[in-house]
Structure 1
Amino acid sequence: MSNEVADANIRGTSSELEVKTHQKGLVLGSWAFGTANLIITLVISFLLWYLLIDPKVSGTNLYPQPFGLFLFWSILAAVFLAFCWEMWPLNRLTQPLKGLVSVIVGSGIALIAIFVLGFGYGSMDPAFTLGGPSAPGYTASGMIVLIGFYMWGMFAGNWGHWPWRDLKLEQPVVGIGEILLGLALTLIGYLVLIYPNVATWAKQDNVVMPLPMVVGWYYAVIVSCFMTANILDNWPWVSLFRSRWTQAIGSFFGNFILGTGIYWFFLFLLKTWLIPAQVQIKLGEGINQWPAQLGVTFVFWVLVWALMFGNYPDTGRAARDRTIRFVITFVLSLITFVFYTQGFAVGFLHEPAVSGSFGGDPLTFMDWLIYVMLVYVVYFESWGLKRR
């Protein structure tokens, strides 16, 4: 069962997410293929950052908003297209047309969502109003993506498209079912966790937890989902639960439990080693959001390892393989977080400083890297490269 679920998870919802054997391209071994994908992703990311996004170099004034909101919704659109709908019906196209159409469709989904919420619903609810960089709608709308990223991501990840695959359903019925169920779950999560924080009538006494803590804790739940579904081959859910439906339901609630542990562990690392004392004073209660800032670097490397490096190692020795993958991706995420926050973000990406040379917003920049990776590796199927 472990291998079946792993084959259906977010690193490879279907064979459509793998490099096609009939595609032409530079034939590379597994490590060279992964390295080439990573280099291409980074080069494209930095080029576009300086051309279009960088607050000092680009001159576009898109950072942090509306760039951030468009980025978040574009990533969620990629989850819809690639993992819920498994690229239906775009998988009938050949590259690079398939990639180009996917970017256009995904961007269209993102723009429609933003305009409907900001200028449609926002005309009735001031919390969703869009306008200047500090308009409340950027937070209110962006938090929908935060809640939805877990809800829709787990269908292909931990759930392996249960129950739709078990009912022998095909696309687009599978995708429609997942979109509707995800919408219902996202709405519930948003109304409970987010809306009492962002509504015009919001008061501290009305919230389950303050917004910074919601972001940090809930993103730790997302970390649990992506970590277990990818580098851990859906463990521990496949060990704890034997049937498909118990694995799905168990993982849904289990990620909240495991994610809570990850939240406190990340907060401990941040307060003890990763964030200087003077920065912690400046952040105040806002430090409760920073497990998300560390978590997104981990999610980036989890996806890199799964999508680019084929989830190495895969020797059949499950415990050993999972441990090696976890150690590699977690260490890389710690190195990335320290390098990024302690000078690189402020000095080279020209993001705002929190205190001294410490600063940046990993949730935005690392999500930018994730989005470019999804575009190149998933939408364009690593066009120009071929895994031997």
Structure 2
Amino acid sequence: MEPIRSGADTASNYATGSTRATLSPFVFPIAVFLIVQAVSLGVWRLFVDPAMAVWRYYPQPFGMYLFWGILVLVFIGFNFGMAGFSALKQPLRGFAATGLTLLLGFVIPGAFVYGYGLLDPAFTGGAGQGATGLIVLIGFYGFGILATGMAGWPWSDSGLNQAMGGLAQLASGACLTTLGYFLLVYPNLSSTAAPHTVLLSLPVTIGWFYSVIVAWLTTFLIFDNWPWSMLKRRSHVAFSAFAGNFLMGTAIYFGFLALIRSYLVPGEAIEKIGAALPIWAAQLGVWIVFWLIFWANVAGNFPQKFGPFWNRTIRFILCWGLGIVSFEFYTRWFAERILHEAPIVSGFSGDPLTWVDLLNFVMLVYIVYFDFFGLSKIRNANIYN
């Protein structure tokens, strides 16, 4: 099973059962949206909320463990295709996969901070937790693109079974992630790195690389892996998808910064944010990513009936438009009033990466691990098509 799909009506692929509430294609995504919001807000109230948290672990180590939970979900759902869990019935399958994800999501970053950190000061203490969390920035693309836009190539053509193919993807993703991390991130964090080794400042790295992730998920999820899919050979599709997202992501990065400076962030907030402003390309991008994942996996990738050009154009306008509107709603009201995040300036608040990545994690757990447990969509009654 693929955890993030392109194509039609993903949600309707899940079997209907007597324990599920059968909903119309219009009500189904609304119900999933509300479930994701409610569970995420509950987690926020327990561990994050600056005013109301029962156990407050924000910004660290909550951010580190959250980001690694997402990456472990990529391992289990993307690279291994739920191997080892698919034989279990729901909800046992969901609880088992979630339990392993949480376990590894604590153990792996803990090994970096409390193990490797003894050898490298960049990975110790609170700064080390941030450094460990940033591995996920590179890893989400390094591992995720292999199983999606690259369709598992070359391992998918080698005759390996799912588990062995997953291990091969894991090894390849580890190489890509290590290379990207030590080229782009580590020189900004290590006290021993020479100034000339810093290719991009950390704020630029975060904003630019997240824009590459936006390009990847836009092309794969709502553009059906276009334009890379126009190529005939699988190897050419794989190479063009991997490299092409960097070119497209660069254009997106500069477009995001123009939007942020001109319309989305108040001038006084821009002045206060200062040199860290490039990070806000990622803060905007994460909202668009939420809607891309939601649209392809929950909302049936509507529309499907107008031909490829218009289908993709409408999806693009809807997902990116909802992302921009959500960014504004969050920063202008929701972050301060509901999540109790401190204002940057009056009327502008929040750190979208933490909240929206929590939404993304909860949504993917519900989709991938629990198969929308408790809900199903009426078959053969899709009002979108």
Give the 5 Å matches for 1:23-62: 23-24=17-18, 25-62=20-57
Asked if residue 181 in structure 1 is aligned to residue 172 in structure 2, the reply is yes
TM-aligned CA deviation for residue 166 of structure 1:
2.1
Across the two proteins, how many residue pairs are aligned to each other? Answer: 376
Letter matched to residue 289 of structure 1 = I
Asked if residue 229 in structure 1 is aligned to residue 223 in structure 2, the reply is no
Asked if residue 351 in structure 1 is aligned to residue 341 in structure 2, the reply is yes
Higher alpha-carbon deviation: 354-363 or 94-103: 354-363
Higher alpha-carbon deviation: 151-160 or 201-210: 201-210
Q: Distance in 2 between matches of 1:9 and 1:320?
A: 25
**Match of 1:20?**
14
Structure 2 contact 11–377 (Cα < 8 Å) conserved: no
Structure 1 contact 9–160 (Cα < 8 Å) conserved: no
Structure 2 contact 12–377 (Cα < 8 Å) conserved: no
Higher alpha-carbon deviation: 317-326 or 201-210: 201-210
Higher alpha-carbon deviation: 286-295 or 168-177: 168-177
TM-aligned CA deviation for residue 23 of structure 1:
3.7
**Match of 2:270?**
280
TM-aligned CA deviation for residue 203 of structure 1:
5.3
**Match of 2:60?**
65
Could you tell me which of 90, 97, 103 is aligned with 1:95?
A: 90
TM-aligned CA deviation for residue 264 of structure 1:
0.2
Q: Distance in 1 between matches of 2:210 and 2:5?
A: 19
Q: Distance in 1 between matches of 2:76 and 2:121?
A: 30
**Match of 2:298?**
308
Letter matched to residue 158 of structure 1 = G
Structure 1 contact 8–161 (Cα < 8 Å) conserved: no
Percent of aligned pairs sharing the same letter: 39
1:294-326, Cα deviation, whole Å (9 max, x unpaired): 000000000010111121112261111101111
Structure 1 contact 16–86 (Cα < 8 Å) conserved: no
Q: Distance in 2 between matches of 1:218 and 1:198?
A: 17
Structure 2 contact 3–368 (Cα < 8 Å) conserved: no
Letter matched to residue 76 of structure 2 = L
TM-aligned CA deviation for residue 63 of structure 1:
1.1
Q: Distance in 2 between matches of 1:231 and 1:160?
A: 16
TM-aligned CA deviation for residue 79 of structure 1:
0.7
1:83-104, Cα deviation, whole Å (9 max, x unpaired): 1111111111111111111111
Letter matched to residue 108 of structure 2 = A
Letter matched to residue 111 of structure 1 = F
Q: Distance in 2 between matches of 1:9 and 1:65?
A: 27
Asked if residue 127 in structure 1 is aligned to residue 117 in structure 2, the reply is no
Could you tell me which of 360, 371, 374 is aligned with 1:381?
A: 371
Partner SS for 2:232: coil
Give the 5 Å matches for 1:241-320: 241-315=231-305, 317-320=307-310
- Unmatched 5+ residue regions in structure 1? 1-6
**Match of 1:342?**
332
Q: Distance in 2 between matches of 1:120 and 1:19?
A: 43
**Match of 1:329?**
319
Counterparts in 2 of 1:54 and 1:88: CA distance versus 1, 3 Å: same
TM-aligned CA deviation for residue 31 of structure 1:
2.3
TM-aligned CA deviation for residue 80 of structure 1:
0.7
TM-aligned CA deviation for residue 211 of structure 1:
0.2
Counterparts in 2 of 1:316 and 1:109: CA distance versus 1, 3 Å: farther
Counterparts in 2 of 1:203 and 1:271: CA distance versus 1, 3 Å: farther
Asked if residue 116 in structure 1 is aligned to residue 107 in structure 2, the reply is no
Q: Distance in 1 between matches of 2:240 and 2:3?
A: 16
**Match of 1:3?**
none
Give the 5 Å matches for 1:355-370: 355-370=345-360
**Match of 1:172?**
163
Could you tell me which of 188, 191, 202 is aligned with 1:200?
A: 191
TM-aligned CA deviation for residue 20 of structure 1:
3.2
Structure 1 contact 10–156 (Cα < 8 Å) conserved: no
Q: Distance in 1 between matches of 2:16 and 2:376?
A: 9
TM-aligned CA deviation for residue 287 of structure 1:
0.5
TM-aligned CA deviation for residue 153 of structure 1:
1.0
RMSD over aligned CA atoms reads 1.9
Q: Distance in 2 between matches of 1:216 and 1:183?
A: 22
Structure 1 contact 8–160 (Cα < 8 Å) conserved: no
Q: Distance in 1 between matches of 2:162 and 2:361?
A: 24
**Match of 2:382?**
none
- Unmatched 5+ residue regions in structure 2? 379-385
Structure 2 contact 3–77 (Cα < 8 Å) conserved: no
Letter matched to residue 167 of structure 2 = I
**Match of 1:137?**
128
Give the 5 Å matches for 1:202-217: 202=193, 204-217=195-208
1:320-354, Cα deviation, whole Å (9 max, x unpaired): 11011111001100110001111321222111222
